[in-house]
Amino acid sequence: MVNQLLKTTLRTKLVLIVAGLIGVISVFIYIYFPTRLEKVQMSSMETKAQQISRVIAYGATPALYFEDRDALNEIFAALLQYEELLWIQVLRPDSTVFVEYRRQPDNAAEIKLQKPSSPPEFLTVVQAMEYNDRKIGQLCTRFSLKTLEAEVRLSRFRIALISVSLFLFGVVAITILSRIFTRPLKRMVRTVEQIIAGNLEERMKINTDDEIGFLAREFDNMMERLSAAYRKLDDLNEELEIRVESPTAALRLTNVQLTAELAERKKIERELSAERIRLITMLRKISEAVIITNLENRVSIINRVAAEITGWNEIDAIGKLVADILKLPASPRHQKTAQTIHEFIREQTGENSAYLTILDSQSREKRLSINIVPIRTLFGEKSGTVFIFQLSDEPSGSGLSDLKEYQA
């Protein structure tokens, strides 16, 4: 129940709680006040009866003392105005009745007077009568409580009416008040929902001077600032897009060009690869040893004949300096042998061919007839060197001796 109450809206909570409070107050009023009123009225009736009895006794005492029945009749006649007074009896000290007065039995109360055993409907007061400090008799009076009961019933009905009216009025009032007070809150909730849905231009527009109005105004101001920031951000984005658009186009063009170039290059590479494979295949088929180096004089291709002559494994030879593969006999100048040989051959013969002795991988000397051809691009730039050689039967001391001398 409490959980269900907690889940309801603020207005419903307010209405339920205040209506409950008013209901409790109304029930309290309905229960407490009639009882209290009845007690007060009963007490008031008792006081009134005692006072009337005292007044009657005051007037009746001389009449009893002087046995003036006329005076008593006058007194009793004057008491007719008290409708509650049903019965008066003046008794002598010996309890004999001096005078008795009974209202005419014209209603049920008078009939019941004959049965004094029903005390709730009557109030009986006994008053001593004294004259000159001597008791001369007593006065018994009996009052009807019908009027009192009728008044209590009427009061109870009125209080019930007031309680119900109070409850209904309270419920209606709190419903209206809760509507008035929660209307701004409802408006705020709707606005927040709109903003959550993406409508940043929605505003609360509450112009009251209370806390809710302050909160709403500050929220609207905050949303104004936020909207302005978003607009500014959008403007910056647009500007950035404009700024970035032309370089992007150039880049896109470049990218296209590069892609095309890359494709061309890949095509060329494929062709080159094919060419290389054909070259390697061709090199493997021929009977001469061939070593091809790059610009850094490192071996990029070595065929099987060259590998057998040099004693190097083809795979191990790839990437090695050609001077390590075609190693000349020990000499501090062997590092430069290939170049020196190349330069020497070109200088001596105008061709890059000669005889020379190398050390294979087992350090065995081998006599080679070698031809060295530079590789050039279409633009004439050197891109590598081709070493073509074979074992030679040429004895040392010919042209190659000149080389040895040069090496020494």
Interaction between residue 157 and other proteins (CB under 8 A): no
Q: Which CB atom, from 77 or from 295, has the smaller least distance to other proteins? A: 77
Could you say whether residue 214 binds other proteins (CB under 8 A)?
no
Closest CB 139 distance from other proteins, rounded Å: 15
Residue 206 one-letter amino acid: I
Q: C-beta of 82: minimal distance to other proteins in Å? A: 20
* Longest alpha-carbon distance in the chain: 196
- Residue 85 phi, psi dihedral angles, 5° rounding: -80, 115
Q: How far apart are CA 256 and CA 261, in angstroms?
A: 8
Give the binding range for other proteins (CB under 8 A) out of 46-54, 56-64, 81-89, 345-353.
56-64
**Nearest to other proteins of 58, 157 (CB atom):** 58
Establish if 381 lies at the interface with other proteins (CB under 8 A): no
SS3 at position 82:
coil
Long-range contacts from 118-124, C-beta under 8 angstroms, 24+ separation: 120/145, 121/145, 121/146, 122/86, 123/45, 123/46, 123/49
- 131 binds other proteins, rule: CB under 8 A: yes
Select the span of 44-52, 63-71, 216-224, 275-283 touching other proteins (CB under 8 A): 63-71
Interface with other proteins includes 128 (CB under 8 A)?
no
Minimum CB–partner distance for residue 75 and other proteins (Å)? 9
Q: How far is the CB of 68 from other proteins (least distance, A)?
A: 3
Cα–Cα distance between 394 and 344 in angstroms, integer? 18
Q: Find the part of the chain contacting other proteins (CB under 8 A) among 68-76, 160-168, 240-248, 340-348.
A: 68-76
**Residue closer to other proteins (CB basis): 52 or 129:** 129
Q: Say if residues 34 and 159 touch (Cβ distance below 8 Å).
A: yes
Instruction: Tally Cβ neighbours within 10 Å of residue 170.
Output: 17
8 A C-beta contact, residue 148 and residue 37:
no
With contacts defined by CB under 8 A, name the span among 54-62, 104-112, 115-123, 303-311 that binds other proteins. Answer: 54-62
The answer to the question of residue 73 lying near other proteins (CB under 8 A) is no
Nearest distance in Å: CB 70, other proteins: 6
By the rule CB under 8 A, 71 interacts with other proteins:
yes
The DSSP H or E segment spanning 366 is strand 365-376
CA of 122: how far to CAs of 82, 102, 153, 341, 346, in Å?
Answer: 14, 14, 17, 157, 160
Near other proteins by CB under 8 A: residue from 1, 2, 6, 70: 70
Closest to 403 (Cα-Cα) out of 310, 304, 329: 329
CA gyration radius for the chain? 68
Among 28, 32, 66, 157, binds other proteins (CB under 8 A): 66
Q: How many CB atoms lie within 10 A of CB 15?
A: 19
Residue 68 touching other proteins (CB under 8 A): yes
At its nearest, how many Å lie between other proteins and the CB of residue 71?
A: 5
Residue number with CB closer to other proteins (131 or 214): 131
For residue 62, the minimal CB distance to other proteins (Å) is 3
CB 112 within 8 A of CB 121: yes
Of 3-11, 61-69, 150-158, 241-249, which segment contacts other proteins by CB under 8 A? 61-69
Does position 63 interact with other proteins (CB under 8 A)? The reply is yes
Smallest distance, Å, CB 60 to other proteins? 9
DSSP letter for each residue of 273-320: HHHHHHHHHHHHHSSSEEEEEETTSBEEEE-HHHHHHHT--HHHHTTS
Dist CA 99 CA 88 (whole Å): 8
By CB under 8 A, the residues from 10 to 29 that bind other proteins are: none
By CB under 8 A, name the binding residues for other proteins.
59, 61-63, 65-68, 70-71, 131
